[in-house]
């Protein structure tokens, strides 16, 4: 056995710029190429057009493709190709105008209303509600009869109707960040509101606004085409919608009249939507997961420390096998890896301690198993096999079939994990009814017997009590009762005694031991207290800086810690404390509650 101390790689792989990432994204690349061609055509189309798009030639009415008119002639003898080239510019400009008006009004109003609140907020909400309640098409038709058939006015008004969408997105994002500590810090450091909004707040809304804009351009082009198709547009401005309108009138005589504008319109809208999908992937980081997963896995493999494994007489029957797990969070332009290739095995029916100093990644490992990583956290590499199923590829919806039934969880802070608005009875019976499908009476009966089982002296009273009427120890017993209600195969308890006082800690540990023995479940107990491990764990894994460095039966690891880090942990225990009270010896807290940090 060897011990290794090399830390695993920290993968702060720098991310390329947004455009570079988009162009290498499969959907993004092809969309950018197509849309670039459309933009080029829109700009140079009028110069490339072989004829004036309005020039009529009676001889060329419904002329077939070929000859002077490459794509044929329309019902007035105009060149379809020339009209298509010029129409591309107008159609695109219409979509861009909608997005520009929507962005300018919606983003600025959302920023100001979200940041300042008060009457500006009220005015913004009122305007949003008003514009959303009026059908835009009616206003557009009314405006047309007042101002005449101008594409520019039509698109400007449509942009105003789109602006509440931007307003809401920006407003909600600003509300979410305005009380962040870094915004407070900017304020206290003397930065003015304009600078804070422009620098800190605008950054937070940048991604959703960019995302929204590709959809808005598509919606604008579609709206304009629909308006022209209905014959409500400006007949002197060639657009795809105008061409479609004319084509549909003459579809039986010359089908190509519909074909070209329909292709241009359909493909542009499809590629704008695909670009939106690619943008979402890149801005929200989902694509980075795909792209960097391999890189991180490779980096971890290259530097993975060897785990010190103690010989084990028992036949391994793993209920949970975590292999080379890597968990990372976006950090700046890269990823900060907080679990760096951890491997862990919890066997059926055993109590397994996961011990390590504060910040070593114990909770992140537990959350990864539960599929409950905080926002931004991603499993970048490795596998989590529970009862034969790999949980890393499982959807959120499917994870719900594991959580609360086959995998249960007991948190660190009992009080903050009970909803103060509901009685214990409601909180215990609701999952029994929803997850296990029990009737109201069955759930009530089961909850009472669970409260009794976890040693609550007066279950009836506690059932009717609100969390604030319970002590910390009682609240933790209630949470344990809820966790074991479904007879889980695996119970994950994250520092279940840390928030409790010493005497209550001992009782809760005794309770966990008794329940484990009675229900035969496996228990993974996350702790930084060797006393807890000594008291109830059959086996232990020692975690350091995101990796497991030593694992084995508790007795063996306590008797003969081989990894330098495990040895240093034992050395950190104050002298005078007995070294290793072994599992089964009810000696909670023998080693105190040392925080190994
Ligand atoms: N939401 C988050 N975003 C970014 N980094 C995080 C997040 N949550 C945790 N971390 C980082 O992950 C690392 C491991 O945290 P974790 O909570 O797993 O530690 P731990 O071993 O359970 O320690 P403790 O006993 O203090 O909870 C820490 O460096 C922490 O800063």
Domains, the chain = 91-283 (1.10.3720.10), 314-406+489-597 (3.40.50.300), 412-485 (no CATH)
Q: Mean of the pLDDT values across residues 481-504?
A: 85
Residue 25 half-sphere exposure toward CB, CA atoms < 13 A? 27
Q: Does the beta carbon of 374 sit less than 6 angstroms from any atom of ligand 1? A: yes
What is the spatial distance between Cα 245 and Cα 257, in angstroms, rounded to a whole number? Answer: 9
Question: What confidence tier does 386 reach under pLDDT thresholds 50, 70, 90?
Answer: very high
7 pLDDT above the threshold of 60? no
- Evaluate: CB of 411 within 6 angstroms of ligand 1: no
Question: How far is the C-alpha of 525 from the C-alpha of 546, rounded, in Å?
Answer: 17
Task: Point out the ligand 1 atom lying closest to the alpha carbon of residue 526.
Answer: 22
pLDDT category of residue 580 using cuts at 50, 70 and 90: very low
Do the beta carbons of residue 240 and residue 94 sit within 8 Å? Answer: no
What does the pLDDT average to over 235-258?
A: 87
Mean pLDDT confidence for 328-334:
73
The top-scoring range by mean pLDDT among 158-162, 415-419, 563-567 is 158-162
Question: Residue 107 and residue 468: Cα distance in Å, rounded?
Answer: 43
Among 2-6, 241-245, 421-425, the range scoring the smallest mean pLDDT is: 2-6
Does residue 527 have its Cβ closer than 6 Å to ligand 1?
A: no
Nearest CA to ligand 1 atom 20: 359
Contact 475, 456 (CB under 8 A): no
Higher pLDDT, 330 or 138: 138
- Using only C-alpha atoms, what is the Rg of the chain? 33
For residue 81, is pLDDT > 50?
yes
- For residue 489, pLDDT beyond 60: yes
Mean pLDDT confidence for 112-120:
89
Query: Helix 80-116 crosses helix 202-229 at what angle (to 10 degrees)?
Result: 140
pLDDT band of residue 253 (cuts 50, 70, 90) is confident
ipTM over 0.90: yes
pLDDT bucket at 333, cuts 50 / 70 / 90: low
State the average pLDDT over residues 78-90.
94
* pLDDT score at 181: 61
- 26 close to 319: Cβ distance less than 8 angstroms: no
pLDDT at res. 524: 96
Range with the largest mean pLDDT of 96-100, 276-280, 369-373, 380-384: 96-100
**Closest to 15 in 3D by CA, of 331, 275, 381:** 331
Mean pLDDT of 497-524: 84
The confidence score (pLDDT) of residue 188 equals 66
Pocket test for ligand 1, best of 328, 335, 354, 363 (most atoms within 8 A of CB): 363
Res 12: pLDDT: 41
Question: Are 246 and 257 within 8 A, CB to CB?
Answer: yes
Q: State in Å: Cα 357 to ligand 1 middle.
A: 11
Calpha distance 213→98 (Å, rounded): 9
Within 10 angstroms of residue 182's Cβ, the number of other Cβ atoms is: 10
Atom 17 in ligand 1: which residue has the minimum CA distance? 363
Within a 10 A sphere around the Cβ of 195, how many other Cβ atoms? 11
- Average pLDDT (246-256) is 85
Write down the pLDDT at residue 217.
94
Contact 174, 116 (CB under 8 A): no
- The mean per-residue pLDDT over the stretch 193-209 comes to 79
What is the predicted pLDDT for the residue at 377?
86
Determine if ligand 1 sits within 6 Å of the CB of residue 340. no
The gap from C-alpha 19 to its chain's centroid, in whole angstroms, comes to 22
| Cβ–Cβ under 8 Å, residues 11 and 295 | yes
Cα dihedral: 402, 408, 409, 414 (round 10): 130
Asked if 512 contacts 477 with a C-beta cutoff of 8 angstroms, the reply is no
- Greater pLDDT, 270 or 300: 270
Check pLDDT > 70 for residue 334: no
Residue 110, pLDDT > 80, answer: yes
- pLDDT confidence of residue 106: 94
Give percent of the chain with pLDDT exceeding 70: 87
Report how far residue 376's alpha carbon sits from residue 348's, in angstroms, rounded to the nearest whole number: 32
Cβ–ligand 1 distance for 520 under 6 Å, the answer no
pLDDT-derived band of residue 39, with 50, 70 and 90 as boundaries? very high
Given a contact cutoff of 8 angstroms between Cβ atoms, the answer to whether 435 and 404 are in contact is yes
Q: Atom 22 (ligand 1): residue with closest C-alpha? A: 363
Of 167-176, 198-207, 237-246, 477-486, the one with minimum mean pLDDT is 198-207
528 lines ligand 1 (CB under 6 A): yes
Q: What does the alpha-carbon distance between residue 258 and residue 530 come to, in Å, rounded to a whole number?
A: 77
Cβ atoms of 334 and 417 closer than 8 Å: no
Torsion of CA 101, 107, 110, 114, to 10 degrees: -170
Is the CB of residue 329 below 6 angstroms from any atom belonging to ligand 1?
yes
């Amino acid at each position: 056995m060897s011990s290794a101390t090399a830390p695993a790689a920290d993968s702060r792989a720098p991310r390329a710029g947004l455009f570079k990432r988009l162009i290498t994204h499969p959907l993004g690349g092809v969309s950018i190429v197509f849309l670039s061609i459309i933009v080029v055509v829109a700009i140079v189309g009028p110069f490339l057009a072989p004829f004036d798009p309005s020039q009529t030639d009676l001889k060329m009415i419904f002329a077939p493709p070929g000859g002077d008119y490459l794509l044929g002639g329309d019902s007035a003898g105009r060149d379809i190709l020339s009209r298509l080239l010029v129409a591309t510019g107008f159609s695109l400009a219409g979509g861009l105008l909608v997005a520009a008006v929507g962005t300018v009004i919606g983003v600025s109003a959302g920023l100001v209303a979200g940041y300042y609140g008060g009457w500006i907020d009220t005015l913004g909400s009122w305007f949003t509600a008003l514009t959303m309640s009026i059908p835009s098409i009616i206003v557009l038709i009314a405006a047309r009869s007042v101002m005449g058939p101008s594409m520019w006015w039509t698109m400007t008004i449509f942009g105003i109707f789109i602006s509440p969408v931007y307003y809401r997105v920006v407003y909600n994002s600003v509300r979410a960040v305005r009380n962040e500590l870094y915004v407070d810090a900017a304020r206290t450091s003397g930065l003015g509101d304009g600078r804070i909004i422009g620098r800190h707040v605008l950054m937070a809304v940048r991604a959703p606004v960019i995302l929204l804009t590709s959809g808005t351009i598509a919606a604008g082009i579609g709206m304009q085409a629909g308006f022209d198709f209905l014959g409500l547009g400006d007949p002197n401005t060639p657009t795809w919608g105008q061409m479609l309108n004319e084509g549909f009138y003459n579809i039986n005589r010359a089908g190509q009249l519909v074909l070209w504008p329909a292709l241009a319109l359909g493909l542009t809208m499809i590629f704008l939507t695909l670009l939106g999908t690619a943008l979402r992937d890149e801005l929200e980081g989902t694509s980075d997961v795909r792209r960097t997963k391999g890189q991180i896995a490779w980096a971890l493999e290259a530097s993975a420390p060897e785990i010190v494994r103690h010989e084990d007489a028992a036949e391994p029957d793993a209920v949970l096998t975590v292999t080379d797990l890597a968990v990372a969070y976006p950090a700046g332009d890269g990823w900060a890896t907080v679990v760096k290739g951890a491997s862990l095995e919890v066997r059926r029916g055993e109590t397994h301690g996961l011990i390590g100093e504060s910040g070593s990644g114990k909770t992140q490992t537990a959350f990864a198993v539960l599929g409950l990583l905080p926002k931004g956290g991603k499993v970048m590499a490795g596998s989590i096999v529970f009862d034969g199923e790999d949980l890393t590829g499982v959807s959120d919806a499917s994870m719900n079939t594991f959580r609360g039934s086959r995998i249960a969880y007991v948190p660190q802070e009992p009080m903050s994990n009970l909803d103060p608005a509901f009685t214990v009875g409601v909180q215990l019976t609701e999952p029994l009814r929803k997850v296990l499908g029990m009737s109201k009476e069955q759930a009530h009966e089961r909850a009472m017997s669970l409260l009794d089982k976890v040693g609550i002296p007066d279950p009836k009273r506690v059932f009717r009590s609100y969390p604030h009427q319970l002590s910390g120890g009682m609240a933790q017993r209630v949470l344990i009762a809820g966790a074991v209600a479904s007879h889980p195969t695996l119970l994950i308890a994250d520092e279940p005694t840390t928030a409790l006082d010493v005497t209550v800690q001992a009782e809760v540990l005794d309770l966990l031991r008794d329940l484990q023995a009675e229900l035969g479940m496996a228990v993974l107990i996350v702790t930084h207290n060797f006393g807890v491990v000594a008291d109830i764990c059959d086996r232990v894994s020692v975690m350091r800086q995101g990796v497991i460095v030593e694992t084995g039966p508790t007795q063996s690891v306590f008797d003969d810690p081989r990894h330098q880090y495990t040895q240093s942990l034992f050395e950190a225990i104050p002298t005078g404390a007995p070294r290793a009270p072994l599992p089964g010896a009810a000696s909670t807290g023998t080693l105190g509650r040392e925080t190994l940090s």
